[in-house]
Amino acid sequence: MKTIRIALGLASVFFTTFALAQGSIDKRRSGYQDMGEALQKMQDDDTANPGMLFVQLGEQLWAKPAGTANKSCADCHATGSMKGVAARYPAIPKDADKPVDLEGRINLCRTANQQADPLAPESRELLSLAAYVAFQSRGQPIAPPSDPRLGPFRAQGAEIYRRREGQLNLSCAICHDDNAGKKLAGVTIPEAHPTGYPIYRLEWQALGSLKRRLRNCLVGIRAEAFAYDAPDYVALEVYLMDRAKGMPLEAPGVRP
Amino acid sequence: MTNILVNAPKTAKPGEIVEIKALIMHPMETGFRPGTNGRIIPRDIIEHFVATWNGTEIFRMEMSPAIATNPFVSFFAVATESGTIGLRWTGDKGFLAEEQVAITVG
């Protein structure tokens, strides 16, 4: 028995090194892998993950009619039809020339089809709807669309990601590429893959979008955060989603 | 309408110790924070959480302003008879939320 175990162990060591040498193992790490066991369990348990409260609320809002058209999301979109949608946003909607993120897409649908006022950024309603949609893509690999029109926006996002900003004169890349995995004030610097958005961040004691996280980081490097409707966020989101291509979505994520 | 998530086993053996977990959406505003206008935001917390098993109280908790938003409570009970586990949260501004789960013991 022991010999078999050692043989199996050796075989797995061999295969792991072999695979590593082939470069086929994905070394990218989701923030999930860098958090403590307690938080991982909190995220994994759908009745302990506070984000699931918002998924539940989102499901209720999905069925609620709104606007002068008096239509609900569910009137047009069948239950479960949003599977995989969150994994491919931001994308450029039909008849548009600029990409929108998931929250932006929800508001587009609201104004165009429901003829309702757009929901305020970071409002509980918008985040809950986004969480409900994103939840349906849980476990799906991030798959940015192959739309060639996204190219310039991705390039713009990459440029912002590498641009030094703020009084601390830091770029996203300095922390999240060059120093990821090291410690910043006792906390492991994550690789900044947007795998779990919208996330329930314990520090916020609320659900928050990727935009809120980006604003948080900008304030952290003592830069002036872009306005909520600035296209810079969406460009950065396009780049980040491309950078995390293939990683599974885990929305709603829990983060410290 | 309050959003609540409850995790309790649907079945249990007599005498078995079961864990009941409950999560509720609530701001748990402490009453110590100033708002954007500089004035203190009035306290808005859940004060009491009570669990009953077929109407008999099995767990009671008094909550304080130091408890986080969307409080999560986990407690244990000994399964004795089939029936309903009732959960009840009461708090400031006349807050009241109730949830019931059925459990079969046998």
Say if residues A55 and A82 touch (Cβ distance below 8 Å). no
Q: Of A234, A210, A237, A91, give the one whose Cα is nearest residue A150.
A: A91
Q: Of B32, B23, B24, give the one whose Cα is nearest residue B66.
A: B32
pLDDT digits (tens, 9 = 90+) for A126-162: 999 999 999 999 999 999 999 999 999 999 999 999 9
| Element (DSSP H or E) covering residue A201 | strand A199-201
CB atoms within 10 A of CB B31: 12
Q: Which residues of A touch B72 (CB under 8 A)?
A: 48, 50
Say if residues B25 and B37 touch (Cβ distance below 8 Å). no
pLDDT at A91: 94
Q: Quick check: A48 and B7 CB within 8 A?
A: yes
Kindly state whether residue A20 falls inside one of the protein's structural domains.
no
pLDDT digits (tens, 9 = 90+) for A28-37: 999 999 999 9
Kindly state whether residue A18 falls inside one of the protein's structural domains.
no
3-state secondary structure chain B: CCCEEEECCCEECCCCEEEEEEEECCCCECCCCECCCCCECCCECEEEEEEEECCEEEEEEECCCCCCCCCEEEEEEECCCCEEEEEEEEEHHHEEEEEEEEEEEC
Q: Quick check: A45 and B69 CB within 8 A?
A: no
ipTM of the predicted assembly exceeds 0.95 = no
pLDDT > 90: what percent of chain B? 97
Residue A19 has pLDDT above 80, yes or no: no
Q: What are the structural domains, with CATH classification, of chain B? A: 4-32+43-105 (2.60.40.10)
Q: Give the residue on B whose Cα is nearest the Cα of A59.
A: B3
Domain count, chain A: 1
Say if residues A255 and A31 touch (Cβ distance below 8 Å). yes
pLDDT at A1: 47
What is the rounded distance in angstroms from the CA atom of residue B46 to the CA atom of residue B65? 9
pLDDT digits (tens, 9 = 90+) for A49-95: 999 999 999 999 999 999 899 999 999 998 888 999 999 999 999 88
Kindly state whether residue A15 falls inside one of the protein's structural domains.
no
Q: Quick check: B5 and A56 CB within 8 A?
A: yes
Residue A5 or A156, more confident: A156
Kindly state whether residue A215 falls inside one of the protein's structural domains.
yes
- Give the contacts of B82 (CB within 8 A, at least 6 positions apart): B103, B104, B105, B106
Kindly state whether residue A21 falls inside one of the protein's structural domains.
no
Kindly state whether residue A247 falls inside one of the protein's structural domains.
yes
Identify the residue among A47, A49, A128 best suited for mutation to test binding to B, counting B beta carbons within 10 A and taking the highest. A47
**Could you list the residue range(s) of the whole structural domain that residue A79 is in?**
29-256
pLDDT at A13: 47
Kindly state whether residue A156 falls inside one of the protein's structural domains.
yes
The tokens for A79 are 């239950």
- Residue A218's pLDDT band (cuts 50, 70, 90): very high
Q: Which residues of B touch A56 (CB under 8 A)?
A: 3, 5
